[in-house]
Amino acid sequence: MKKTLAALACLLGLALLTMPSSCYYDNEEDLYGPGTGNCDTTTIRYSVEVKQILAANCNNCHLPGGSTYSGIPFETHAQFQEVALNGKLVDRINNQAAPMPQTGLMDKCSRQKLEAWVNAGAPNN
């Protein structure tokens, strides 16, 4: 009974949040390899895809003029690579308790793209 309730709660969470981390470790890349579904993660370049995601979701805080720029700037590749390689980037973009951006997790595909880039060693490509 308890299990059924938990499963129901999870399903409800699924319907409401689309991706509750408590239900399922949702990493499509690990499960199926890159480029499955509608999310193409085969070519992720810092100069193109990564910068687009940053521009759309992070720049108003982490880039010049942004509220966090003085403390945590993501202006150069080296600056962004640091949080990529020390694990903070992948943690925070998937951390529902302390999400980046602060307003809530990005869509799954944007997160998968950043993760693919991190897994490739966060190159300056």
Q: Which residues of this protein are in contact with ligand HEC, per CB under 6 A?
A: 57-58, 60-62, 67-68, 72, 83, 88-89, 92-93, 98, 100-102, 106
Shortest distance in whole angstroms from residue 54 CB to ligand HEC: 6
The CA distance from 90 to 100, in Å, is: 10
Cβ nearer to ligand HEC, comparing 62 with 116: 62
DSSP 21-59: TTT----HHHHH-TT-TT---S---IIIIIHHHHHHHTH
Residue 15 Cβ vs ligand HEC, minimum distance, rounded to whole Å: 25
Q: Of 42, 59, 52, which Cα lies nearest the Cα of 112?
A: 42
Cβ atoms of 110 and 58 within 8 Å: the answer is no
Minimum Å gap between C-beta 14 and ligand HEC is 23
For residues 33 and 79, which CB has a smaller minimum distance to ligand HEC in the complex?
A: 79
Give whichever of 23 and 82 is closer to ligand HEC, judged by the CB atom.
Answer: 82
